[in-house]
C-alpha cells in the first residue's frame, strides 16, 4: 500500500483528501503545517507528498526545499495561489505537479497516481544504467549526474529532461512533447515551464550547456 502525506492547515481539506485516499487504497498521513510534514518525512518513506503553500510555522515552499534535501520523494503543491509565477517557482524547486484550489478530489487522486507511477517507472527503467556524453555522466539507478567528475544536484525534472535528451540526441523535440513526456499527459502546463527548466538544466551542465540547442519555432535539440 502506497503511503501519501497530506500537509494542509485546513482540517476539512485534509479529511476529504484522506477519505478519497483510503478509497484509492493509499495509507494517508496528515500534517497541519510544514514542520510536521518534515518530521513525518524523516520518520517514514512516502510515495508522494501533497503540500499546501500557505501554512503556519513553515510554509509549503520552505518545507518542499527541506524535504527534497532529506529524501527524493515526489511532491505535489496544492494551493489557492493560481499565479503562473507561483507555479513556476514550485517547479524550480523540483515539485512534480501543481494543483490549484478549489480542486476535484478525484482529479487529485489521478495526479497522485500519475506521479507515483512515474517515480516507480524511473526506478525500474529499462534504459542503460549509465549514459555518458563527453564529460556528462548520468547514473540512472542512483539518480546522479556528474559533470567532469563533479556531482551536480539536479531537480527531478531537470534529471528527467537530461535523460530524455540523452536518449533522443539530434532530434528536435517540441515543448509540447517535453510537457507530455516529462510532466505527464494530464499536466495542464505552459511552455514557459519547459523554458524555465531548460534554463536551470543548462546552468547545471556548465561547459556543456551549449549542447542543448534552441530551435526557433520548434523546440530544443541535444547535440
Q: Output the pLDDT for position 86.
A: 86
Q: Output the pLDDT for position 70.
A: 85
Question: Which letter does DSSP use for residue 210 in this model?
Answer: G
Q: Output the pLDDT for position 51.
A: 95
Question: Which letter does DSSP use for residue 179 in this model?
Answer: I
**Whether the predicted pLDDT of 137 surpasses 50:** yes
Q: What is the pLDDT of residues 148-201, one digit of tens each?
A: 989 998 888 899 999 999 989 889 999 888 888 887 755 555 668 888 899 999
Instruction: Using CA atoms of 18, 21, 26, 30 in order, give the dihedral in degrees to the nearest 10.
Output: -20
Closest CA to 77 of 108, 41, 110, 106: 108
Write down the CATH number for the domain with range 130-222: 1.10.10.10
Contact by Cβ (8 Å): 197, 158: yes
Q: Where are the domains of the chain?
A: 3-123, 130-222
CA pseudo-torsion sign 180, 181, 185, 190: negative
What are the backbone angles phi and psi of residue 10, rounded to the nearest 5°?
-95, 110
Cα 133 to Cα 83: distance, rounded to the nearest angstrom: 38
Q: Output the pLDDT for position 126.
A: 45
Cα 131 to Cα 97: distance, rounded to the nearest angstrom: 26
Closest CA to 221 of 185, 175, 159: 175
pTM summary value = 0.62
Question: Which letter does DSSP use for residue 208 in this model?
Answer: G
**Whether the predicted pLDDT of 47 surpasses 90:** yes
Write down the CATH number for the domain with range 3-123: 3.40.50.2300
CA atoms within 13 A on the CB side of 141: 4
Q: Can you tell me the mean pLDDT for 81-95?
A: 86
Q: What is the pLDDT of residues 191-202, one digit of tens each?
A: 688 888 999 999
Amino acid at each position: 500500500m502506497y503511503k501519501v502525506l497530506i500537509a494542509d492547515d485546513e482540517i476539512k481539506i485534509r479529511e476529504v483528501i484522506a477519505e478519497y485516499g483510503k478509497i484509492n487504497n493509499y495509507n494517508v498521513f496528515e500534517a497541519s503545517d510544514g514542520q510536521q510534514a518534515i518530521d513525518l518525512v524523516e520518520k517514514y518513506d512516502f510515495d508522494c507528498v501533497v503540500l499546501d503553500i500557505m501554512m503556519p510555522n513553515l510554509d509549503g515552499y520552505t518545507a518542499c526545499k527541506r524535504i527534497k534535501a532529506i529524501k527524493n520523494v515526489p511532491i505535489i503543491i496544492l494551493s489557492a495561489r493560481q499565479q503562473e509565477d507561483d507555479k513556476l517557482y514550485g517547479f524550480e524547486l523540483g515539485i512534480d505537479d501543481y494543483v490549484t484550489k478549489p480542486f476535484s478530489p478525484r482529479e487529485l487522486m489521478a495526479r497522485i497516481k500519475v506521479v507515483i507511477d512515474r517515480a516507480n517507472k524511473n526506478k525500474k527503467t529499462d534504459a542503460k544504467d549509465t549514459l555518458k556524453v563527453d564529460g556528462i555522466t548520468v547514473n540512472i539507478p542512483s539518480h546522479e549526474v556528474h559533470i567532469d567528475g563533479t556531482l551536480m544536484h539536479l531537480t527531478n525534472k531537470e534529471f528527467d529532461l537530461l535523460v530524455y535528451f540523452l536518449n533522443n540526441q539530434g532530434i528536435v523535440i517540441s515543448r509540447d512533447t517535453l510537457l507530455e513526456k516529462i510532466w505527464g499527459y494530464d499536466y495542464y502546463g505552459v511552455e514557459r515551464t519547459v523554458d524555465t527548466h531548460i534554463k536551470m538544466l543548462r546552468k547545471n551542465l556548465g561547459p556543456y550547456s551549449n549542447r542543448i540547442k534552441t530551435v526557433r519555432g520548434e523546440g530544443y535539440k541535444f547535440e
